[in-house]
Amino acid sequence: MLKPKQFEKRLGQLRSWREYGFILALAERNYPNFALFAELTAPDHGARVRKLLDQGWEMLGSRDHDLDVFQLLTHLSHCAPDPDAHEVYGVQPALTMVELLEQAFLCRVNPDKPRAAAASAASFAVVMTFIEFSEGEGLDEDALVDLFEGHELMQAERGFQEFLLEMLGEARSTDEAWVEALKATAANDGVSNLGLGLDADPQ
């Protein structure tokens, strides 16, 4: 496992399609969180965002795609949940997933702005908030820190992000087989970074 400064350095070194692929993979891992929420609130949005994710992977694998990133961003914005309109916990992980995909797309619009560190932190924050929500009631700050540090979901998130850095760092091109392997790893058989699959209860 990388030390914190090593991890931050590796994040900061991501550029171009590697940064895009990193954030896109985080969005993929977070997708079930969105789909679960959409099932309860806007069932058609789950399929719409799934299509946008797939188009994101298409852009990673092909330089000759004819996708309009600005149009994708517009479609995505229509699916973003309003946290003020919902009282259930699941709205925040769903919104974070949309924001991660948005940041991935924005990498294509403005590749010079670093986005990987913020995306990494957002994905970690989803896990931390979920742990606090589900297991942290009544704990003081020190006890929460101990809970986070030893929790299997936090360890899994860290392991996943470090694996992404390794896989992206070693890659020299984005051929179809490599993209499919990265996508499959990120999809994690339909289980999110919160340990939720599409047959689980988001509340």
- The CATH number that applies at residue 72 is 1.20.1590.10
Residue 66: pLDDT band (50, 70, 90) is confident
All residues at 6 or more sequence positions from 93 whose CB lies less than 8 Å from its CB, including other chains? 30, 33, 34, 37, 126, 129, 130, 192, 194, 202
pLDDT for the residue numbered 202? 40
Q: Is residue 171 in some structural domain?
A: yes
Asked whether the predicted pLDDT for residue 157 surpasses 70, the reply is yes
In a domain, 176, yes or no: yes
C-alpha span between 24 and 103 (Å, rounded): 8
pLDDT digits (tens, 9 = 90+) for 112-134: 999 999 999 999 999 999 999 99
- Give the model's pLDDT for residue 200: 46
Q: Which pLDDT does position 121 carry in this prediction?
A: 98
pLDDT of residue 193: 98
d(CA 4, CA 8): 6
Domains in the chain, number: 1
DSSP 8-state symbol, 192: -
pTM of the model: 0.94
